[in-house]
Structures are given as C-alpha cells and as structure tokens.
Chain A
Amino acid sequence: MQWRWEWTWELLPRFLDATGKTLMAAGGGYAIAVVLGLVLVLAQRTPFRPLTVVVRELVEFIRSTPLLLQVFFVFYVGPQFGINLSPWTSGLIAIGLHYGAYLSEVYRGGIESVPKGQWEAATAINMSTVQTYRRLIIPQALPPAISGMGNYLVGIFKDTPMLSVIGVAELMHTANAVGAQSYRYLEPYTMVGILFLAISLPTAFFITRFEQWVRRKMGM
C-alpha cells in the first residue's frame, strides 16, 4: 500500500483544526477535573464519617469503571429524564469526572506527604483550617503532586478520542469520517497517531522540567 502524500497535505488543515478541538476537550476536561479533584479530596478529609465513606467509594467506582462506558452513561442518561446535553457538554462532564477522581488521589498523596508536625505546628500557632491549608499544607503538597498531575494531563489528552463515540468532532472523529468516506485508513489513522505523539511527548518532557523547577524554587 502506497502512502499518498498529496492527499495527506490536503487533509492536514482539517486534521490540525481537529487537533485544536482535541486540545480544547482535554483542556476543558482538565479544568473540571482539577477543581472536582480538590472537592473530592477535601470531602474525604471532613470529620463527617458517612460523607467520607461515600466519597471514598465513589472515587473507587469512577476509577474502576471504563471511561467509555461513563461517556455513554452521561450522554444517554440525560434525555431519559428530559435533560438534553450536547455531545461537548456530556463529553467534558464525563472526562472531567473520571479524571477528577484520579486527581483527587494525586492530591491525597500530596497532602499525606506533608509531615504531621506541620499540622501540629499550625494548630499550635492558632491557624484556622483554611489558613493551614492555604499557607502551609497546599504549598508543600503541590510539588510532590505535580508529576502525577502532569501525567494525568497527558492522560486526559490521550483519552479524548473516546469522546468521538458520542459525536464530539475531535481528531479521532475526523479520522473516522475521512476513513469512512474514502475507504482509506492508512493516512488518517497514522496522522492521528503522529499528531498525538507530537503533542504528548514534548508535554511530558516539559512537565518533568517544570517539576524540577518547582522543586528547586521551593528549596526541596
């Protein structure tokens, strides 16, 4: 099978445009996940037992079921109750929820890595809970969490093709459409693979660099 270069160049603008959509989906989903993760981890640290147990189990549930199924669930469940969500909205909700659960575990690891003496010291100098988190715990919990957060940023990017199944017009969706039209799959799918590599490898590299930089800044 011959690779058709002219066709590749012809398709390229369309694929680059779709790459933009993919990045938007990843960015939007990640923004939801970052906030939601924080909510999920803080809910697990409240003294109210039933809440912590339920949230803990919810996180486990989300983490141990396939994202693809969650995407379908969010997309199809709304209409059954008269709520119609667009593919974009439900896609972002599903992916944000999924990665929010993962990020809450990353945050938890970060918070638990802060030595107990720091908490006691904060209590000793009469800091409020909010102050303790904001000024003592979060700054120290962040550097160890960066690599995990970065990994999931790349992870969410790589999982956006799953949104194609509900009709979000990102890269994979475009490749499927082109393939179905022309009955040629070599170029579209290979281009998608290369575009993914071209974004995820440099991102992973910069995340490592960024982590080192933060650690130096924090004097760790």
Chain B
Amino acid sequence: MSYLEFLQAHGPRMLDGALITLVQFVLATVVSVGIALAFGLMRLSPNRAVKGFATVYVEIFRGTSLLVQLFWIFFVLPLFGITMDKFTAGFIAVGLNMGAYGAELVRGAILAVPKGQWEAAKAINMTPAQRMRRIILPQAFVIMLPPWGNLVIEILKGTALVALISVTDLMFQARQINISTFLSVQTFGTALILYYVFARFCVTPFMRSFERKMAFKIGRA
C-alpha cells in the first residue's frame, strides 16, 4: 500500500481527529487563560488565605502529572458527584493544569511592571482595581506574551492525552488506525506531522504576530 493510498483510506479520519484536537486546544487555552489570570492575581493578593489557596492550587497542579490529574478528574470526581463527559473532562483537565503554569507567568509579568508605574497610578488617585486594569495588566500582558507562546504549544501537546480517556482526537484516531492496519510509520508519522505543522506554522506565527501587535499597541515596538 503506497502512502498516497494510505492517505486516501485513512486521511479523512485523521482530519476528523485533528478537528477534535483543534477544538480541545482552543477550549483548553480559554480555560488556561482564565485560571492563569485568576490564580496569578490571587497569588499577589495581600489576603493570606487567598494567597495560600492559590499557592496550594498551583503547587498541586504543577507538582503532579497531567495524566494523573486527567484520570483523577475523569474517574474519581464522579464519586464526589461531579460528573463530566469525557470531552469536557479532557479540556478542563488540560486547562486546569496549564492554567497553573500560566498563573506563574501572570504573577511574574505583573511583578515585572516597573515600580514607577504603580506609584504614578497611585499618585493620580486611581483605585487599586483601576490601576490593575488600566495601567498594570496591559503592560504585564505584553511582558508575558512571549512565554505564553511556549505554554500554548504545551497546551496543544497536552491535549493529546485526552485520547487516553477516549476523546476521539488526532492521537486517538492514529491509535485506532494503527490497530487496524499495523502501518505504524505512516499512521503515527502522519499524526506527528499534523501536530508539527499546526504548532510550527499556525500557532507559533500567530502568537508572534500577536506579540508584535500588542507591543505596538502600548507603544513598545
């Protein structure tokens, strides 16, 4: 069987899987950004209980494997009455995990905004909320975008794990095709290339241009 025939026979199925991967990736990224923002800000809270809670969250999710968390959320949470279908459990687990890494990026970026900016905002009588929203966060946003570019790739790679709870993503389809055809090089090779092309020629260039646009917007380019 030539590679072309292989693609004709199994290509559509792989593309179906790739579409699911894409949706999982987008949803997981949305969850990550939300979690990262919330917990990154909480980590900087003067309230010790809030700060402690956020620290525990970040340490737990960064200290254990994504796979363990995914299985825990999918198999153990239902025992406590929180049942999610596999699709939801998939992107929620990836999002919660990567959000913990993102929270550290948010925290680092906020702390990296020059002190004079904080003082100036205070001097013109802005409330803490105004200062955060209008002065600090926009600048922190530009600072943290480059490391987010890497994290977003990690999110994409993380979504491959949802195949293990039978979400029919690209990884899952590749495994199924491999089981029925035994053409491992073609199957897994094609899947690898699909992930690579998406990461290297779609996600990364998008993040780069986003970085430039945002830097330009606050007058840093």
Binding site for B on A (CB under 8 A): 1, 60-61, 63-70, 72-73, 76-77, 79-80, 158-162, 164-165, 172, 175-176, 179, 185-186, 189-190, 192-193, 196-197, 200-201, 204
Known A65-B192, A80-B182; further 20 A-B contacts with Cβ < 8 A: A61-B200, A64-B157, A65-B196, A65-B199, A66-B157, A69-B191, A72-B175, A72-B188, A76-B188, A161-B68, A162-B67, A162-B161, A165-B164, A172-B71, A179-B75, A185-B71, A186-B79, A189-B76, A193-B60, A196-B65
Q: Is B72 an interface residue (CB 8 A)?
A: yes
Contact present for A190 and B65 (CB under 8 Å): no
Given A69-B174, A73-B192: A64 and B64 interface contact (C-beta under 8 Å): no
What's the Cα separation between A70 and B159 when bound, in Å?
A: 14
CB distance from B153 to the nearest CB of A (A): 6
Check A193–B64 contact: CB distance below 8 A: yes
CB distance A185 to B76 under 8 Å? Answer: yes
| Beta-carbon contact of B72 and A189 below 8 Å | yes
User: By the criterion CB–CB under 8 Å, are A64 and B67 in contact?
Assistant: no
Most buried by A among B63, B79, B160, B163: B63
User: B196 to A193, Cβ gap below 8 A?
Assistant: no
Asked if A72 contacts B200 (CB within 8 A), the reply is no
CA distance A201 to B59 in the complex (A): 8
For the complex, what is the distance from the CA of A193 to the CA of B63, rounded to whole Å? 9
Contacts of B67 in A (CB 8 A): 161-162, 164, 172
Residues of A within 8 A of B166 (CB): none
Q: Is the CB of B64 within 8 A of A197?
A: yes
For residue B80, which residues in chain A have a CB less than 8 angstroms away from its CB? 1
B75 and A64 within 8 A (CB) = no
Given known A-B contacts A69-B195, A162-B67, A172-B67, A189 and B75 have beta carbons under 8 A apart: yes
Complex contacts, B200 vs chain A, CB 8 Å: 60-61, 64
CB of B178 within 8 Å of the partner chain = yes
B195 touches A65 (CB 8 A): yes
Contact B76 A190 (CB under 8 A): yes
Return chain B residues, CB-CB under 8 Å to A67: 157
Beta-carbon contact of B192 and A70 below 8 Å: yes
Please give, as numbers and ranges, the residues of chain B lying within 8 Å of A165 by CB-CB distance: 164
Q: Is B4 an interface residue (CB 8 A)?
A: no
User: In the assembled complex, how far is the CB of residue A177 from the closest CB belonging to chain B, in whole angstroms?
Assistant: 13
Interface residues of B (CB under 8 A from A): 59-60, 63-69, 71-72, 75-76, 79-80, 153, 156-161, 163-164, 171, 174-175, 178, 182-185, 188-189, 191-192, 195-196, 199-200, 204
Q: Does A73 lie within 8 Å of B64, measured CB to CB?
A: no
Q: A197 to B63, Cβ gap below 8 A?
A: yes
A158 touches B192 (CB 8 A): no
Closest 4 CB pairs of A and B: A66-B160, A76-B184, A64-B199, A185-B75
Contacts of B171 in A (CB 8 A): 66, 68-69
Please, which residues of chain A bring their CB within 8 A of the CB of B178?
A: 72, 76
* Bound Cα distance A204, B192 (Å): 31
- Hey, which chain A residues are within 8 Å of B196, CB to CB? 61, 64-65
Whether B68 lies near A172 (C-beta < 8 A) is yes
Q: Which residues of A contact B156 (CB under 8 A)?
A: 64, 66
- In the complex formed, the residue of B with least CB distance to A185 is B75
30 contacts between A and B (CB under 8 A): A61-B196, A63-B153, A64-B153, A64-B156, A64-B195, A65-B157, A66-B158, A66-B159, A66-B195, A68-B163, A69-B191, A69-B192, A72-B174, A72-B178, A73-B184, A76-B178, A77-B185, A160-B65, A161-B68, A164-B67, A172-B65, A172-B71, A185-B71, A185-B75, A185-B79, A186-B79, A192-B68, A193-B69, A200-B64, A201-B63
